[in-house]
Amino acid sequence: MRKILDSLKPFSEDPLMQSRLPLTEEEKKSALYTLRELVQDASTATLLDHFKSLLRILLGLLSVNSGPIKSLVLVVLSEMLKRRSLTDHFNNYVELLILKMFHIYRDPCKEVQRSAESCIIDMSTLFNPEMVIRVLAPLITTEPIPVNLISIKMLTRLIEARGRHPVQQYLPDLMPGLVQAYDNEDSSVRKSAVFCMVALHIAVGDEALKPYLASLNGSKLKLLNVYIRRAQHSSPPATPRCQGEHSDPSDPS
């Protein structure tokens, strides 16, 4: 593993490497394919020995101007996330990793976006939930699309996986942003806010959530309650469609 990692290091990190030519894109791809296999097969002890350098090199490669390389990097990172023995070490970098994934999620390459979203969803169930919530709460409130959208999706998955604890204590931090997102001009953000509030209702109950919904107008509250009731009889909640024949969370009146 050390040999592969050394080959992928930026020249600025290792002056000894400046005497040879940098890797071509195909050579980088080959090295990353090999690295993926090593991460899958290596012992926990080996991965822990190389964890910091492995993570640093992978995050550095996400800055290259190549969609295929970034997609492969995310595949390797996804394999690392599957190794549950590394979770405690990932928890030392929760904010860094989430913000880096959100930045990559903006990439114009659809394959990179999909790979980044897959990593984000994995992180939502693996990382320390309180740390994740503290990162997400301000992003939901302040960031434009697509960051607010993927933040809400990540939060929804966390709630579905973790339940009431530790979400309930963070309702004062989360609900204002979700209510605001329910009024967003982008339909996908509005829909995601509905899904998230439905998941919260299932997790914490009506009495805990009710005070935060007081600012919703009648039609929005009615529509939210439709999907809450639907979710109580169906898991996962049905995709928001219509209030009447043609209304849904994408166009609440």
Give residue for tokens 């004062």.
172
Same domain, 154 and 120: no
Same domain, 108 and 174: no
Q: Evaluate whether residue 67 is within a structural domain.
A: yes
Same domain, 155 and 179: yes
Q: Evaluate whether residue 241 is within a structural domain.
A: no
More confident residue, 229 or 239: 229
The 10s digit of each residue's pLDDT in 64-105 is: 999 999 999 999 999 999 999 999 999 999 999 999 999 999
Q: Evaluate whether residue 171 is within a structural domain.
A: yes
Same domain, 118 and 4: yes
d(CA 40, CA 82): 9
Q: Which of 98, 127, 156 is the last residue of a domain?
A: 127
- Give the mean model confidence (pLDDT) for residues 204-227: 95
Q: Evaluate whether residue 73 is within a structural domain.
A: yes
Same domain, 183 and 74: no
Contacts 24+ apart (CB under 8 A), 68-73: 68/25, 68/29, 68/111, 69/25, 69/28, 69/29, 69/32, 70/104, 70/107, 70/109, 70/112, 70/115, 71/109, 71/111, 71/112, 71/115, 72/29, 72/32, 72/33, 72/36, 73/32
Residue 234: the pLDDT is 78
Same domain, 64 and 176: no
Mean pLDDT across the chain = 90
Task: Kindly report the CATH number assigned to the domain that includes residue 187.
Answer: 1.25.10.10
Domain that holds residue 149: 128-234
The 10s digit of each residue's pLDDT in 154-177 is: 999 999 999 999 899 999 999 999
- Lowest average pLDDT, out of 11-25, 41-55, 99-113, goes to 11-25
Answer whether residue 143 shows pLDDT above 80: yes
The 10s digit of each residue's pLDDT in 54-70 is: 999 999 999 999 999 99
Return the structure tokens found at 239: 């995709």
Residue 243: alpha-carbon gap to chain centroid: 30
Return the structure tokens found at 165: 């604890």
Same domain, 153 and 95: no
| Contact present, 104 and 118 (Cβ < 8 Å) | no
Residue 175: alpha-carbon gap to chain centroid: 19
Answer whether residue 140 shows pLDDT above 70: yes
Q: Evaluate whether residue 15 is within a structural domain.
A: no
Residue 21: the pLDDT is 73
Q: Evaluate whether residue 240 is within a structural domain.
A: no
Considering its fold, how many domains does the chain have in total? Answer: 2
